[in-house]
Amino acid sequence: MRTLPLLLALLIAAPAAAVIRVDINSGTAQPLPVAVPAFATASAVATEAGTTAALGQQVAGVIAADLASSGLFRPLDPAAFTTTVAPADVTAPQFAAWRTIAAQALITGNVTANPDGGITVGCYAYDVFSAEELARQGFVTTAANWRRAAHKCADLVYSRLTGETGYFDSRIVYVSETGPKTRRIKRLAVMDQDGAGHRFLTNGQTLVLTPRFAPNQQTLTYMSFANNRPRIWVYTIGSGRQEAVGDFPNMSFAPRFSPDGGTLVFSMSQNGTTDIYKLDIASRRLARLTNGPGINTAPSYSPDGSKIVFESDRSGGQQIYTMNADGSGQTRISFGEGRAGTPVWSPRGDLIAFTRLGGGKFRIGVIRPDGGGERLLTNAFQDEGPTWSPNGRVILFFRTAAGRGGKVDLHSVDLSGANERQIKTPLDASDPAWSPLLP
């Protein structure tokens, strides 16, 4: 009876494909578990910022905190580690120990003291399950700057595992507020994006608003009411020198630098209208970009410097407009219910963040430069003043709590609307601006 199985086989024979193919259309979107053990050191040498062994611990802590703050990684609790990393393990880790705690990536490295008093931080990233090295880089810096080496290592890991450029080695400048709402003391303050290294830049005697970084990182521009004259100032961070921009008789405010740092664009009030002007810093030549009606303010350059997005109430209420860098082609891009203001162009050029005003709330939203794809990312009482991280992935803004004497503080949210978190500051905070990636 050989014919029976043969007949059955002919009936049900599938095409003779050599390899079966499985389609997987869904996974679990969750932060990637990573292990960041303390960085090793060949011998504990004292530096001006502590011993290299202590620095190894702190560097690992800063990296883990950075990765966790992005919302895309989940650093595992060091208490669960089954092994420590010896200097020899840095270049040849024992992956089995990391597999047992289900870490998918391992970030390890070493801290070495240099003869000149500085340190070298070696940063290595490994894929635990395939046991391959993903990236390695060494950073040489002064011992006091060890945080920047840790941030750069975190940036390396972040970009290797997500494909995005990093944003951890950057700074935030903002207005620190204190005192009753009727007599607010406002000071400029600058800090690392994780809140460390905080310091005040002005003494609070004059009101300051809207500080922004120059692309070179070393200067800020902001608006100050010094001598009861609302003017734009430029502040050099290293020297602390402050210089007023232009000697305009009228109120000028909302300054921003162009991407090449050579032009300052701002608003100035004159004869009942407020218009946007640009100032060539080298030649001090002033050019007018808008010509009324109404209030035109909050200008922001596109990353390639060819266009400017701004806010205007010429239609009756604040809305968002784009124009070419020479002022031509002014087009409204925000529509729908309510008003829209404080636009900021993303460093990636693909989106504009803004504040949507309406329904009794201020909410942070993003919109494409052509006006489509508007998406609101937050939903609280009063969120405003967005600024972008250097990789165009995270938006920082300030939130005022409802009620009398409501606190004002800084919050950040991922572009997807997830991972909303507060950035802690010593006092109340408003008007944040995120610097580009530090070199």
Partner 1 sequence: MTERQSLGVVGLAHLVLFAVLSLALTSVTPPLPPEDPAPVDVVDIAEVPKIAEPPRPSKRAAPQKTVEATAPEPTPPTPKPEPAPTPDPTPVPKAEKPKPKVEPVEKPEPPKPEKQKPEKPKPEKAKPAPKLLDAEALSTLLDKSLPKAKVKPLDTSALAKSIEKSLPRTTRIDPRATATLIGAIRSQVAPCWNPPIGGADVKKMTVLLHLDINRDGSVVGRPGIVSQTGVTAGNADYARAFAETARRAVLRCAPLKLPAELYDQWKAVEINFDPSEMS
Interface residues with partner 1 (CB under 8 A)?
1-2, 5-6, 8-9, 12-30, 32, 72, 102, 104, 127, 129-130, 132, 159-164, 416
Cβ–Cβ contacts within 10 Å for residue 32, how many?
14
Q: How far is the CB of 290 from partner 1 (least distance, A)?
A: 33
Q: Smaller CB distance to partner 1: residue 20 or 79?
A: 20
Q: Smaller CB distance to partner 1: residue 82 or 331?
A: 82
Cis peptide, bond prior to residue 78, ω within 30 of zero: no
Q: Smaller CB distance to partner 1: residue 20 or 282?
A: 20
Q: How far is the CB of 398 from partner 1 (least distance, A)?
A: 26
Q: Smaller CB distance to partner 1: residue 30 or 203?
A: 30
Q: Smaller CB distance to partner 1: residue 123 or 351?
A: 351
Q: Smaller CB distance to partner 1: residue 24 or 79?
A: 24
Q: Smaller CB distance to partner 1: residue 48 or 304?
A: 304
Ramachandran region, residue 17 (left: φ > 0; alpha: ψ -120 to 50; beta: rest): beta
Q: How far is the CB of 322 from partner 1 (least distance, A)?
A: 21
Between the CA of residue 103 and those of 29, 65, 73, 106, what are the distances in Å? 16, 16, 11, 7
State the DSSP code for 79: G
Which two three-digit tokens encode residue 429?
Answer: 């905070």
- Write the DSSP string, 192-229: ETTS-S-EESS-SSS-EEEEEE-TTSSEEEEEE-GGG-
Helix axes 146-162, 52-69, angle to 10 degrees: 40
Nearest by Cα to 377 from 34, 386, 304, 315: 386
Q: How far is the CB of 166 from partner 1 (least distance, A)?
A: 11
Q: How far is the CB of 12 from partner 1 (least distance, A)?
A: 7
Starting at the edge strand that comes first in sequence, how are the strands of the sheet with 263-270 ordered? 252-257, 263-270, 273-280, 285-288
Q: How far is the CB of 230 from partner 1 (least distance, A)?
A: 40
Q: What are phi and psi of 96, to 5 degrees?
A: -60, -40
Q: How far is the CB of 65 from partner 1 (least distance, A)?
A: 19
Using DSSP's 3-state secondary structure scheme, residue 77 falls into coil
